[in-house]
Amino acid sequence: MKIRTALFIFCISLLSGACRQVATESRVQPVSFEVGSSMIADTFFLDSLSLFMPETNEEALINNIDRVYESNGRYFILDKRMKQVLCYTLSGKHLFTIHAVGNGKGEYVDLFDIAIDEAENKLLLLTYPSQILYYDLEGTYLSSYPLDDTYQSFAVDKGFIYLRNDTYANGVVSDYSLIVINKETGKQTSLLEPLYETAPFCSSGNYQITNTASVLFTRKFDNHIYRITGESIEPLYMVDWKDKAFPESDKQRQFQCNDLNQLCYQGKYVYTMTDLCDTPSYLLFRTNQPGMCLLSKATSTVNNYQVIINTDYQLPLPNYMSVEGKQSRIFFIYSSEVLCEQKKLSAEEDINEKMSSLLGQIKEGDNPVIFTYHVK
């Protein structure tokens, strides 16, 4: 495929209780940002490519993919816009959809996040009114757990539930960034004093709390990546963004989102890290700048790649997303509309056989096409 076509479809896709202190920073691994090539081939750090083409039907229409869990040979997909959770086999067969909008038992007005409790084989939904709804992995409602405040993201492991606190409300900064619930005793522990709210109503990317190899946590205007274990939290990495670091002098201001975005666009400043995927060799994540970041644990460096090229299909890969679970898997997501546009362009330019076969399977209105990989 010619580079003009590849970059065109890539650009289109881009448009589409007790308070505990943080552990000492003596164990923090300093990591340095490196300026290098903005393009990288998938084979450099990824393998086991497969296509995940989720079945499209009246019960399975995906508007947006906000969070994905892989568990027991299935994908559990959160679509916040449609307030639903969809379950698929790894081959794309639709199994069930949870869309329990209402005011009754086991229902919700809004849906913020999902998690899988691997120890108990349960699907957890974080909702408004503020509660956690428990389902089995076949989509059957089991029970609910009321919460004392509204939380919009969380994670769960064998013994604990971790809730990220929105640290600014009604002009007041809260006392902590996280609350931890002991699953056995119900004891609540608060962790990590919040920073000054430089941009309280602004966000970028998806989630700042993820559960892949471990439960990791980040926050805006903080260059640390934290690990949460039980009732304690420790900084694992401290990223030196060099000239891309958000200016310290501006952190005591309070920005409107448009002003913040303009400043970061002009200076290429980084103020957030989201969508973390922790693997033995690498840590992958997004920032408020375009592309995907690759942290090498061997060299203690971070590179930002704005274009990842799929070598089999000769296609740039947009819309990186980490897949929660222990499989070191990531997604790159293409909308069917973008691929249908590529069909029109393919009549004018040569494309390889694999790409031609893929385009022949896509029609307008289909669910997204996902390129899935394992991280080496």
Strand pairing partners for 102? Answer: none
Q: Provide the pLDDT for residue 183.
A: 97
Q: Give 17's pLDDT tier (boundaries 50, 70, 90).
A: very low
128, part of any domain: no
β-strand 153-156 against 160-164: which pairing, if any? antiparallel
How does pLDDT run across 38-74, given as a tens digit for each residue?
999 999 999 999 999 999 999 999 999 999 999 999 9
130, part of any domain: no
**Predicted confidence (pLDDT) at residue 167 exceeds the cutoff of 90:** no
Lowest mean pLDDT among 17-26, 34-43, 87-96, 308-317: 17-26
> If you average pLDDT over residues 248-277, what whole number do you get?
96
36, part of any domain: yes
126, part of any domain: no
Q: Mean pLDDT in the chain?
A: 91
- CB of 307 within 8 A of CB of 318? no
Q: Provide the pLDDT for residue 80.
A: 98
Q: Provide the pLDDT for residue 356.
A: 86
Q: Provide the pLDDT for residue 13.
A: 52
**Predicted confidence (pLDDT) at residue 4 exceeds the cutoff of 90:** no
How far is it, in rounded angstroms, from Cα 135 to Cα 150?
Answer: 20
The one-character DSSP state at 50 is E
Lowest mean pLDDT among 108-112, 220-224, 230-234, 351-355: 351-355
70, part of any domain: no
- CB of 364 within 8 A of CB of 340? yes
Structural domain range at position 154: 3-16+23-52+148-375
N- to C-terminal Cα separation, the chain: 26
Query: Comparing C-alpha atoms, which of 120, 165, 127, 166 is closest to residue 145?
Result: 127
How does pLDDT run across 107-160, given as a tens digit for each residue?
999 999 999 999 999 999 999 999 999 999 999 999 999 999 999 999 999 999
314, part of any domain: yes
Query: Comparing C-alpha atoms, which of 178, 74, 79 is closest to residue 125?
Result: 79
**Predicted confidence (pLDDT) at residue 265 exceeds the cutoff of 60:** yes
Q: Give 26's pLDDT tier (boundaries 50, 70, 90).
A: low
Tally of residues, the chain: 376
Q: Provide the pLDDT for residue 177.
A: 92
How does pLDDT run across 316-373, given as a tens digit for each residue?
999 999 999 989 999 999 999 998 888 777 766 677 888 888 988 999 899 999 999 9
The domain total for the chain is 1
Q: Provide the pLDDT for residue 11.
A: 54
Query: Comparing C-alpha atoms, which of 244, 259, 246, 188 is closest to residue 219?
Result: 246
> If you average pLDDT over residues 257-264, what whole number do you get?
97
The residue among 203 and 65 whose pLDDT is bigger is 65
Lowest mean pLDDT among 14-23, 165-174, 225-234: 14-23
Sign, CA dihedral 44-49-51-54, equals negative
34, part of any domain: yes
Query: Comparing C-alpha atoms, which of 157, 170, 226 is closest to residue 193?
Result: 226
Q: Give 201's pLDDT tier (boundaries 50, 70, 90).
A: confident
364, part of any domain: yes
Alpha carbon distances (Å) from 249 to 254, 262, 350 = 12, 16, 52
Query: Comparing C-alpha atoms, which of 64, 13, 124 is closest to residue 367?
Result: 64
Continuous segment of H or E residues that includes residue 336: helix 336-346
